[in-house]
Amino acid sequence: MRYSIVMALAAGIPLTGHAQEGDTSGAAMSYGQRPAYLVDKMPDGTLKDELSACMGQTPQRTAFSIGHRGAPLMFPEHTVQSNRAAARQGAGILECDVTFTQDKQLVCRHAQNDLHTTTNILTTDLAQACTAPFTPAQGEEKASAECRTSDITLEQFRSLTPKMDASDADAATAEEYQGGGVPWRTTLYSDGATLMTHAESIALFDSLGADFTPELKAPSVEMPFDGYTQEDYAQALIDEYKDAGIDPARVWAQSFDLADLRYWIENEPEFGKQAVYLMDEYDDETYDPNDPATWPDTMAELKEMGVNYIAPPMWMLVTLGEDGKIVPNALAKAAAEADVKIITWTLERSGPLAGGGGWYYQSIADAIDSDADTYELLDVLAQDVGVEGVFSDWPATVTFYANCKGL
């Protein structure tokens, strides 16, 4: 694997900042090399000058910077180590994507059915418990598997070893299937990583001085699951914050399912008023964020439901103006008019931007041709769209910008 980019990320310059009150991570916050690398690549101009002048500042934690599964550009997602890294980069809010095990215990995984790509389960005795066992590549058929947290108990889940999320579709063996990573991520920090339950994530994030944005993941199993309803599941997520004595004002619970938000708004109003609707309207081929006639719900209708926060992907908030510059689109303007706050995702997810940035940049691909565009987009999202926070796979990038701009 090539390490040219990720090794540049890894080489951090110690700064003089001190951990925030309540932060027991045991290390000062640091931007590392990534923000300076991005600023250096920017064309000369006002924004570059402003960001360059902030290079010597002391990092401060900011809620504008949200760790997306921790800091998975370099660390296995949803692990203790990934979230410690995100906190040390100044992320003020950390994420646990929540799903459940066979014995209905809440754990941090991006999907209920991702154990075959995010852990070593296929090379353990637990492989026989998987919903779909490993099948090697043969001819035109790619290698495949499906292993769910609901296939195993919490005790069995704890026995697994996390890894960078990847798989080799051409694998002939389960061991080979463990590979397949892209060259701009690294396995350098995977050894000894630790999985977390949702309750453990609450304790960890609190000790790091960060707030919380759990996402209730859509189950891969049919619900109810052994008598466990969707409402039971949504309530269990909130109950673990209540059991830990966490102030609801520190929690932004997320879901792609409006029914989950409605449940929280009605049954847990203190948590519901900060519940975040993750917008997946892009799954509808007729949807156009620039054409309100194609929206299943207007921003005003969502506000009337009690939804105060939306979280669309970045591309759903911006478009290109007549001059080819990045500008807010109709969705962003409608949210502002309806007083619906916006969080967006996910910066630093796409790797090098020389090829247009891929899915996360699709509405502005014609303006994306270099990593230098990272801060150009972030500036529009912050200053023109007015987002409340940005998820990133490398939170230092967002933290630096937010600190420089006083966000």
> pLDDT tens across 74-103, in order?
999 999 999 999 999 999 999 999 999 999
- 94 phi and psi angles, rounded to 5 deg: -120, 155
**Selection from 384, 390, 382, 386 nearest residue 51 by Cα:** 382
- Secondary structure element (H or E) that encloses residue 137, with its range: none
Over the stretch 198-237, which tens digit does the pLDDT of each residue have? 999 999 999 999 999 999 999 999 999 999 999 999 999 9
pLDDT at 284 over 60: yes
Q: How far apart are CA 400 and CA 37, in angstroms?
A: 12
Over the stretch 151-203, which tens digit does the pLDDT of each residue have? 999 999 999 999 999 999 999 999 999 999 999 999 999 999 999 999 999 99
Q: Are 86 and 94 in contact (CB under 8 A)?
A: yes
- Secondary structure element (H or E) that encloses residue 272, with its range: helix 269-272
Mean pLDDT of the chain: 94
Place of tokens 């600190």: 403
Q: How far apart are CA 300 and CA 297, in angstroms?
A: 8
Angle between the N-to-C axes of helices 34-41 and 396-405, in degrees from 0 to 180, rounded to the nearest 10: 70
- 37 phi and psi angles, rounded to 5 deg: -60, -45
Q: How far is CA 261 from CA 306, 327, 335, in A?
A: 9, 30, 17
Q: Are 37 and 186 in contact (CB under 8 A)?
A: no
**Selection from 113, 115, 97 nearest residue 156 by Cα:** 115
Q: Are 94 and 208 in contact (CB under 8 A)?
A: yes
Domain boundaries, the chain: 4-96+196-213+279-405, 113-177
DSSP 8-class letter at 217: P
Entry pTM: 0.94
Which alpha helices (H) appear in 327-395, and where do they start and end? Answer: 330-337, 373-379
- pLDDT of the residue at 14: 30
Q: How far apart are CA 382 and CA 371, in angstroms?
A: 18
Q: How many CB atoms lie within 10 A of CB 192?
A: 10
- pLDDT of the residue at 49: 98
- pLDDT of the residue at 25: 53
Q: Are 78 and 196 in contact (CB under 8 A)?
A: yes
pLDDT at 28 over 90: no
Q: How far is CA 157 from CA 101, 162, 180, 195, 314, in A?
A: 8, 10, 23, 8, 33
- pLDDT of the residue at 55: 96
Which two structure tokens, joined as six digits, stand for 150?
Answer: 């609901």
- DSSP state string for 33-81: SHHHHHHHHSPSSHHHHHHHTTTTPPP--EEEEEESSSSTTTS-TTBHH
- pLDDT of the residue at 204: 98
Q: How far apart are CA 99 and CA 78, in angstroms?
A: 12
pLDDT at 1 over 60: no
Query: How much is the CA Rg of the chain, to the nearest whole Å?
Result: 21
Decide which of 167 and 11 is more confident. 167
Q: How far apart are CA 137 and CA 168, in angstroms?
A: 9
**Selection from 356, 345, 349, 359 nearest residue 389 by Cα:** 345
Q: How far is CA 305 from CA 160, 252, 341, in A?
A: 41, 17, 14
